[in-house]
Amino acid sequence: MDWGMRNRMARMFNPNSGHTVMLAVDHGYFMGPTRRLENVGVTLAPLLPYADVIALTRGILRTSVPPTVENPVLLRVSGGVTVLHEDLSDEMVTTPIEEALRLNVCAVAMSVFVGAPHEHETLTALGNLVSDGEASGMPVVAITAVGKELEKRDARYLSLACRVSAELGAHIVKTYYCEDFSRVVEGCPVPLVVAGGPKLDNDEAVLKLAHDAIAAGAAGLDMGRNIWQSDHPVAMIKALRAVVHDRATVREGMEVLKAELATPKGTRGPALA
Ligand code: R5P
């Protein structure tokens, strides 16, 4: 890897833990103004000190994020369909690598839809994006999307989708946690980050997902709804950082969360892991 590529990769991972807590706020690219993400700038502001990376689109970066932010940016560069479309796999690359360079981002991300009607198009687009990324020193994150078929999130399917993404050259793969996740990790030679998916029932379930993913070998999270749809997003992301960076147990993570909630608002500091 050239220095630029290595530098961008290094900036996304905590040098002490080797892990990352990426904050995903890119949902609007196909879901529109998702609940609690109606105004991304407002949702994002209190969470910025705790996000190792922010994941979003160029439109939200330009309109809702001050250029003074220090967080590395993971730029979503695929899209083209919305939740109103029957086939969510009908995506293509919508933002060229030149623009990612101009926006000074740390990596670009696109969805691949393995086993879906547009499998071929999204996988070949990933190959092309990796070629552009290699030429520009820009890491590429492949997102193993499942569209509306959430039941696809099992080890057999995800290990196939993650491995194929890595074989096509993705530098990082973003996927879902599943039972037997270590099988997905074993088959994928590049770092895996785990999405949260739709909001879970309780805080403990979110911390358990993060804990089990890290224990199985994930390099971190790229999580959205389970953080900013929480009634206490800052406490939640702090607890997740404890699990991801300090290897806290679920119980210890819950203690971090409760301690944060017990602290009077005005006195809560950024205390980073
Ligand atoms: C889909 O909109 C994006 O890839 C999200 O960034 C990804 O699903 C992570 O967000 P969440 O944790 O809400 O699933």
* Residue to probe by mutation, ligand 1, list 20, 22, 27, most atoms within 8 Å of CB: 27
Answer yes or no: is the C-beta of 224 below 6 A from any ligand 1 atom: yes
Question: Which residue in 148, 152, 174, 258 is the catalytic one?
Answer: 174
At 174-223, the pLDDT tens digits run 999 999 999 999 999 999 999 999 999 999 999 999 999 999 999 999 99
Name the class of domain 3-231: alpha beta
Answer yes or no: is the C-beta of 196 below 6 A from any ligand 1 atom: yes
Decide: 240 and 208 in contact? Cβ < 8 Å.
no
* Residue to probe by mutation, ligand 1, list 20, 21, 23, 26, most atoms within 8 Å of CB: 26
- Which pTM does this prediction carry? 0.95
Is position 174 annotated as part of the catalytic site? Answer: yes
At 45-70, the pLDDT tens digits run 999 999 999 999 999 999 999 999 99
